[in-house]
Structure 1
């Protein structure tokens, strides 16, 4: 049976691409590996940040929606993103860096059984730095031009938190359909891993009753999980159908192929292939420096660029 190899990327909403760009490049030290547009609505930017090449498992992506309102927090939503750092010394480095840059953060604590530092981006997106203890996406590459020293750089995505009304429903989807291992559970929380013992495919599911989250700036749109290639994607498409979920069918996103579905709590998952990746239309040295468009949008470049505001570097 095919396995889910961890997280692929995670996608959020930002109101302002320039401010978002500043925070994730200058403050968090990530590389902007792709500046493109939402393929379903080319009037909005789609920005990707990650390691040197935007490896699967390191990618944070943002749709710019200038009219986005506030997020009204609630249940049935993806509610926090874990980012891996090398050591407990790194947490202290980041705490001091956040204080220098005025980033909203907590004290160093623990999260999902790991030393951790919770913080929020300028739009209220909830994140947490987690000590990796040597665990990271195996193909993660240091970004030499990062604002952050190599010994403290973010090494990709760790635990992703999802808050739901019906914990058993999402647990069944993760374990019975996708083959995740349930590694701990109580009445309020369960932890699942796509590869047992590895944090880069970990999902923390929390139970919360009440109204559903109303998304806005700083909210999380969907979580994408990794498969190797299109043959595996076709296999998972069939599994999704067999469980009665409505699927988007396989969509060619040029940089990877995907399918989307909502599980029983309404959480949107994407299943995405590892390749071909962001170097398909750009040299590694110059990734993210200019607006890249998939071939089917290239003929509309002038029209698309006219509607986008330049991003302040």
Structure 2
């Protein structure tokens, strides 16, 4: 029952049109799915990633037009890492960010023992580009999107370290270790880095101990982080383990593109377990993924109503 890495990470945006422009035009990712929030189908749910939206490459956004400002605080998912190929890639991205007016740190620094370039998106979401460690083999299922205007040698590859600010890091480490096999690979001061053996750096979480008020989410905040599980059988197994430990779960939820179980840890961080299959190719031909609004079958009969509530993106 290996955890092979991150599956996706989901955020809140106030404006789907601006969000779409940033993640496609600036970051050069592919919009692999344009669908709706299945709990509130009057709102967009956008997915960006590699050619097919492979597990471990997906950045997803729920559009909430009335979302207010995020008030930063603890007990939150506070930073998203994205892998790029080389240190030279960071120089390319500094120039690209300058050209597009993106806020970024002028100097390359180090984060989680990797060369790093910190930046923010247009809604102040904290992100960092990280260089893939030497001799690290990329997940075999990641597929480069050849139509990106970012040169191949500098493209964003997929998800890297995900940062959590929490009051009690031991509580988060405990549940992730006992149920999913995460291990502490470094502990230094207020920072604890954990990974799974199978996932390595592609499963890495950086826990920062921080006291104080909890974050009040809004635009540019992270809603949840999803962990890869191979199939429904494994998903049900972990659901049973969580419940046996006294953790309340969502039970298995069919999200059409994958199946999921949601739970919160003792620091109120929302985690999702999500299956690799069936993936976004269920939405249609690979060459046209994300070009048109795709609705899960349970919403198809409401297409006309739903489309009337959404602002066209492009």
| Fold shared by both chains (TM-score > 0.5) | yes
> Counterpart of 1:125?
125
CA drift at 1:195: 2.6
Q: Distance in 2 between matches of 1:211 and 1:192?
A: 24
What is the number of equivalent residue pairs in this alignment? 311
Q: Map Cα deviations across residues 231-262 of structure 1 (whole Å, 9 max, x no partner).
A: 00011001110111110000000100001000
State the TM-score, normalizing by the size of structure 2: 0.97
Q: Distance in 2 between matches of 1:64 and 1:159?
A: 24
Q: Following superposition of structure 1 onto structure 2, how do residues 1-313 of structure 1 map, counting pairs within 5 Å?
A: 2-106=1-105, 107-133=107-133, 134-195=136-197, 198-311=200-313, 313=314
Partner of 1:190, secondary structure, is: strand
Q: Distance in 2 between matches of 1:271 and 1:111?
A: 26
Q: Distance in 1 between matches of 2:237 and 2:151?
A: 41
Aligned residues of 2:31 and 2:48 also touching (Cα < 8 A)? yes
Q: Distance in 1 between matches of 2:56 and 2:140?
A: 9
Partner of 2:108, secondary structure, is: strand
Where do 4+ consecutive residues of structure 1 move more than 2 Å?
Answer: 133-138, 195-198
Partner of 2:225, secondary structure, is: strand
- Tell me how large the CA RMSD over aligned residues is: 1.0
Q: Distance in 2 between matches of 1:103 and 1:199?
A: 26
Partner of 1:95, secondary structure, is: helix
Q: Distance in 2 between matches of 1:197 and 1:70?
A: 34
Partner of 2:293, secondary structure, is: coil
Aligned residues of 1:136 and 1:156 also touching (Cα < 8 A)? no
Q: Map Cα deviations across residues 198-228 of structure 1 (whole Å, 9 max, x no partner).
A: 2111000000000000000000000000000
Deviates more, 1:130-139 or 1:213-222: 130-139
Partner of 1:82, secondary structure, is: strand
State the TM-score, normalizing by the size of structure 1: 0.98
List gaps (5 residues or longer) in structure 1: none
CA drift at 1:142: 1.1
Q: Distance in 2 between matches of 1:197 and 1:296?
A: 34
Q: Distance in 2 between matches of 1:94 and 1:243?
A: 44
Aligned residues of 1:91 and 1:129 also touching (Cα < 8 A)? yes
CA drift at 1:147: 1.8
Q: Distance in 1 between matches of 2:185 and 2:244?
A: 26
Aligned residues of 2:2 and 2:198 also touching (Cα < 8 A)? no
Q: Map Cα deviations across residues 265-302 of structure 1 (whole Å, 9 max, x no partner).
A: 00000000000000112100000000000001101111
CA drift at 1:5: 1.0
CA drift at 1:127: 0.4
List gaps (5 residues or longer) in structure 2: none
